[in-house]
Amino acid sequence: MPRRRVLRWSGGLMAAVVAPTGLVTAACSTSSGPSAASPARPSSAGAASPLPPVPPVPSVDGAGTPTLAATLGTRRSVRDFTDVPLTRAELGLLLWAAQGVTAANGHRTAPSAGALYALELYATTAEETLHYLPDGHRTEVWAERSVAPGLARATRQDPPGRAPTLVVVTVTPARLAGKYGGRAGRYADLEAGHATQNLLLQAVALGLGAVPIGSFDDGDVAAVLGLPEGEEPRYVVPVGHPR
Ligand SMILES: Cc1cc2nc3c(=O)[nH]c(=O)nc-3n(C[C@H](O)[C@H](O)[C@H](O)COP(=O)(O)O)c2cc1C
């Protein structure tokens, strides 16, 4: 009998082709779950009316920075990485994209229910484990060692062990409970999704790759990181240079 319930991940494989117009066409093959060929839900009665075609999207703006549309159009989950470590500047931009402070009142890159900010971010490299402090855009040393091997074991998946950096996104629903009661857990999870998508898109913009891993043993991840009581992991995100 297995001691714990761990979900095995069986995601789909997708090959994306960016047409010269900037439009993206995709060939999907999924082992399970919905795909472009088998929509999650059939269209309801009434005829479906097509939207105007997506116009050609420039891949970079005037300053040579990738446009948001180009970044969205090329994001794919990446699970195979080179050994090249992330620079501290790259790590800083990833963490800032997820939870950076962008206003004098403390509001951040990602929305937050009631601006109560239910998230924490941790990043583990080959040498150390850091905790992000959005205020002042700083990191503190959370552990003077990598916790990547422990996180990899907690996911029972390959990519974490091979990425040079793993970012862990956690939620503390209790921060929202006073204002939102029974909806606190839901709102914390939604906030984690917003922040993680920001991080994934920033990775693309930096020429990096990442995958949001949601299948892991919560207790193991919490123990490996030494999370405080009431703080729960939601995503483990391996990030690195795509191989
Ligand atoms: C909630 C959630 C959980 C996920 N968990 C995993 C996971 O545990 N392992 C993994 O390899 N991918 C995971 N993924 C990534 C999906 O497999 C991936 O997004 C999907 O196959 C679509 O491919 P794309 O991201 O390249 O568009 C997860 C995605 C979401 C939204």
The whole-angstrom separation of Cα 12 and Cα 70 is 22
pLDDT at position 11 is: 47
Residues in contact with ligand 1 (CB, 6 Å cut-off): 9, 11-12, 14, 76-77, 79, 157, 211-215
Contact 121, 168 (CB under 8 A): yes
Q: How many whole angstroms separate alpha carbon 133 and alpha carbon 144?
A: 17
Ligand 1 atom nearest the C-alpha of 30 is 21
CA of 72 to the centre of ligand 1 (A): 15
How many Å lie between the centroid of ligand 1 and the Cα of residue 231?
22
Measured CA to CA, the distance from residue 219 to residue 37 in angstroms comes to 37
Alpha-carbon span 90 to 97, nearest angstrom = 11
Q: Are 111 and 104 in contact (CB under 8 A)?
A: no
Q: What is the pLDDT along the chain (243 residues), one digit of tens a residue?
A: 333 333 455 543 233 333 333 333 332 233 333 345 556 777 777 788 888 887 777 788 888 888 899 999 999 999 999 999 999 999 999 999 999 999 999 999 999 999 999 999 999 999 999 999 999 999 999 999 999 999 999 999 988 878 999 999 999 999 999 999 999 999 999 999 999 999 999 999 999 999 999 999 999 999 999 999 999 999 999 999 999
Q: How far apart are CA 144 and CA 191, in angstroms?
A: 29
Q: What is the pLDDT of residue 59?
A: 84
Residue 138, strand partner residues? 133
Q: Is the dihedral of CA 170, 172, 175, 177 positive or negative?
A: positive
For ligand 1, pick from 8, 9, 35, 221 the residue to mutate: most ligand atoms within 8 Å of CB: 9
Q: Given this model, what pLDDT does residue 47 score?
A: 82
State how far Cα 24 lies from the chain centre. 22
Fold type of domain 79-240: NADH Oxidase (3.40.109)
CA of 215 to the centre of ligand 1 (A): 9
Is residue 119 a contact partner of residue 169, using CB atoms and an 8 Å limit? yes
Cβ atoms of 78 and 11 within 8 Å: the answer is no
Q: How many angstroms separate the alpha carbon of residue 122 from the centre of ligand 1?
A: 20
Domain locations in the chain?
79-240
| Dist. CA 207–CA 210, nearest whole Å | 10
Q: Which of 3, 178, 163, 5 is nearest to 80 (CA)?
A: 163
CB 165 within 8 A of CB 88: no
Residue nearest to atom 11 of ligand 1 (CA): 213
Say if pTM beats, i.e. exceeds, 0.75.
yes
Report the pLDDT value the prediction gives residue 158, as an integer from 0 to 100. 87
Which residues, 6+ apart, have CB-to-CB distance to 197 below 8 Å? none
**How far is Cα 243 from Cα 172, in angstroms, rounded to an integer?**
35
Q: Which atom of ligand 1 is nearest to the CA of 159?
A: 11
